[in-house]
């Protein structure tokens, strides 16, 4: 996916979900329990969001998020898709996307959506480890995800996989095994979310009883970075890391417990740049009291770290009096020139 589309989000809170997974309280994720949008409400919401598109005329998609779209009643699916299709026919948007559980991708549901201009389907994979899926009470097996992905790809849909770090029973080895299994399915893109203990979820009950402990923010960032690097080395884009308010997590009142941060994805990228430079300096330290780092202009904030945290850490760890970050358009956005552009390291592979 060379260019991310302009997304018009339409939330369908917990619609179509036959049961609650241990981590899920969809009314907390989407702010409050809400009915499905009526056709008039859908038209109003899409029209309002399209005003924010500015001059960007291509690549817009209406996205149904926040529930299990293909688990909704068939007549409701057709009604929502028909209303969204009207915007496609007028040229206001290019297509439709939605998120759904892997076990709702069946021959029947695929036939149901076939007449509509659906471009992208995101699967709530979460994990490919049987023990993690069972302890999270997902209600499906990894084989269901394999079959759902195959069916969607055979029909020409772009397929995204949504994964979670910090699920009950998961660990680094298990998580990376999930990553490798997903790579084998060749999704078009990935989203990675940290597991939060949301109010009203079974996980909250386990947390109160000492049966589950969420990841620290540092641990969640570290594990997400490992997944990110794994997918990037196999040319699979990671389009989102962390929950964002725009995707349904309210800015206050329902954040729960765990590694939520409004700039979670930025923290992961900062860690990628920090680790690449730190590893390079462990094997090669430029002479002198100062360090100059060269990065692509769009990567300057990632190199400096949130609130210049990486700068301070490099100074403290290696004794530099000054660390300067210089823009260098000739470098790739994932690369860093350490002590000059003659020595370049990758934030993805760590190789120079």
Task: Write down all domains in the chain, each with its CATH number in brackets.
Answer: 6-262 (3.20.20.70), 283-346 (no CATH)
The dihedrals phi and psi of 292, each to the nearest 5 degrees, come to -115, 125
Q: How far apart are CA 13 and CA 68, in angstroms?
A: 9
Please answer whether residues 341 and 328 qualify as being in contact, where contact means their C-beta atoms are separated by less than 8 angstroms. Answer: yes
pLDDT tens for each residue of 309-341: 999 999 999 999 999 999 999 999 999 999 866
- Residue the block writes with tokens 């996916």: 1
**Across 53-67, 140-154, 292-306, least confident range:** 53-67
Q: CA end-to-end span of the chain, whole Å? A: 27
Beta-carbon contacts of 235 under 8 Å, excluding residues fewer than 6 positions away, are none
254, pLDDT greater than 70: no
Query: HEC profile for 49-106?
Result: HHHHHCCCCCCEEEEEECCCHHHCCHHHHHHHHHHHHHHHHCCCCCEEEEEECHHHCC
Decide which of 27 and 97 is more confident: 97
């Amino acid at each position: 996916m060379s260019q991310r589309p302009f997304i018009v989000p339409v939330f369908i809170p917990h619609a179509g979900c036959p049961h609650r997974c241990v981590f899920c309280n969809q009314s907390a994720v989407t702010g409050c329990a809400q009915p499905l949008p009526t056709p008039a409400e859908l038209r109003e919401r899409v029209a309002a969001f399209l005003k924010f598109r500015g001059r960007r005329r291509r690549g817009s998609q209406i996205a149904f998020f926040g529930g299990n779209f293909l688990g909704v009643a068939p007549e409701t699916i057709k009604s929502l898709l028909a209303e969204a299709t009207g915007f496609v026919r007028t040229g206001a948007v290019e297509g439709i996307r939605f998120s759904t559980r892997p076990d709702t991708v069946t021959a029947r549901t695929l036939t149901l959506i076939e007449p509509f201009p659906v471009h992208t389907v995101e699967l709530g994979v979460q994990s490919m480890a049987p023990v993690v899926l069972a302890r999270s009470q997902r209600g499906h097996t990894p084989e269901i995800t394999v079959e759902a992905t195959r069916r969607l790809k055979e029909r020409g849909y772009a397929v995204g996989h949504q994964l979670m770090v910090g699920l009950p029973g998961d660990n680094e080895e298990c998580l990376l095994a999930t990553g490798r299994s997903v790579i084998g399915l060749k999704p078009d893109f990935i989203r990675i979310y940290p597991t939060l203990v949301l109010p009203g979820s079974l996980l909250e009950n386990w947390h109160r009883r000492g049966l589950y402990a969420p990841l620290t923010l540092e641990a969640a960032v570290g594990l997400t970075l490992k997944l990110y690097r794994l997918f990037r080395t196999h040319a699979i884009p990671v389009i989102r890391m962390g929950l964002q308010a725009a995707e349904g997590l309210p800015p206050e009142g329902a954040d729960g417990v765990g590694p939520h941060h409004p700039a979670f994805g930025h923290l992961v990228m900062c860690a990628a740049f920090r680790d690449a430079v730190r590893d390079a300096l462990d094997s090669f330290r430029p002479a002198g009291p100062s360090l100059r780092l060269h990065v692509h202009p769009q990567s300057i904030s990632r190199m400096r770290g949130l609130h210049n945290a990486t700068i301070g850490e490099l100074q403290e760890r290696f004794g530099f009096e000054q660390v300067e970050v210089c823009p260098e358009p000739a470098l790739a956005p994932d690369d860093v020139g350490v002590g000059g552009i003659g020595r370049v390291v990758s934030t993805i592979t760590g190789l120079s």
